[in-house]
Amino acid sequence: GEDVEQSLFLSVREGDSSVINCTYTDSSSTYLYWYKQEPGAGLQLLTYIFSNMDMKQDQRLTVLLNKKDKHLSLRIADTQTGDSAIYFCAVALYNTDKLIFGTGTRLQVFP
Amino acid sequence: DAMVIQNPRYQVTQFGKPVTLSCSQTLNHNVMYWYQQKSSQAPKLLFHYYDKDFNNEADTPDNFQSRRPNTSFCFLDIRSPGLGDAAMYLCATSSRPGQGATDTQYFGPGTRLTVL
């Protein structure tokens, strides 16, 4: 089955860029998502990219997709303390209703 | 605003006492999901409805059941909660227009279940 992996922790200084990485195994992915989860809250959709795209930019967020290497990344420019949260990547497979979630990356932003 | 609503946000129950969590949506989506999430782990899919079609995950315990009386509402019933069922329960919705991939999943704020 599909496997989605992320590093567990990332710590950055306020104002720096953050890059959160995700790798997946199934090449029949259609959409790939990034969700943000703050403590005690649900998952907030941040952005997504369709599998035939290489890059998508949305204000401070840049998503890069390398289909050959099955690697997805989320770059947050000018990281703020409010960006501290857990970030999940998730992969949608063709012709299913399901998302396969990564393990989540805890981003800590320090002053 | 169109959204996914979960009630209650916090639920305390006793060991073995049945509990029901509810989810409603104003997005008119035809797919609704229930996830269990423990200790900042990835959400684990319990089951989902595509319209009225119920799809159970193979490893979802029989203790967990669901009802979807109409498009807008979906319920999660835990028949005999154990200590191991304490978790955050997340509801999500999406739209599947027909063949092919389902659209983006939108999540509710979750219900934190405590079992005493």
Residues of chain A contacting residue B48, judged by C-beta atoms under 8 Å apart: 97-98
Who has greater pLDDT, A51 or A36? A36
Q: Which of A70, A53, A57, A58 is nearest to A3 (CA)?
A: A70
Residues of chain B contacting residue A90, judged by C-beta atoms under 8 Å apart: 105
Query: What pLDDT digit, counting tens, does each position of A42-81 carry?
Result: 999 999 999 888 999 999 999 999 999 999 999 999 999 9
When the pLDDT of each residue in chain B is averaged and rounded to a whole number, the result is 92
Evaluate if residue B100 carries a pLDDT over 70: no
Q: Rounded to a whole number, what is the distance in Å from the CA of A40 to chain B's nearest CA?
A: 8
Which residues, numbered 71 to 110 in chain B, qualify as contacts with chain A under a Cβ-Cβ cut-off of 8 Å? 88, 90, 92, 94, 96, 99-102, 104-110
pLDDT for the residue A29: 79
pLDDT for the residue B14: 96
Query: What pLDDT digit, counting tens, does each position of B13-40 carry?
Result: 999 999 999 999 999 999 999 999 998 7
The residues, ordered by sequence, that sit 6+ positions from B70 with a Cβ below 8 Å of its Cβ are: none
3-state secondary structure of A68: coil
Residues of chain B contacting residue A43, judged by C-beta atoms under 8 Å apart: 43, 90, 92, 107
3-state secondary structure of A76: strand
The proportion of chain A whose per-residue pLDDT surpasses 90, expressed as a percent, equals 77
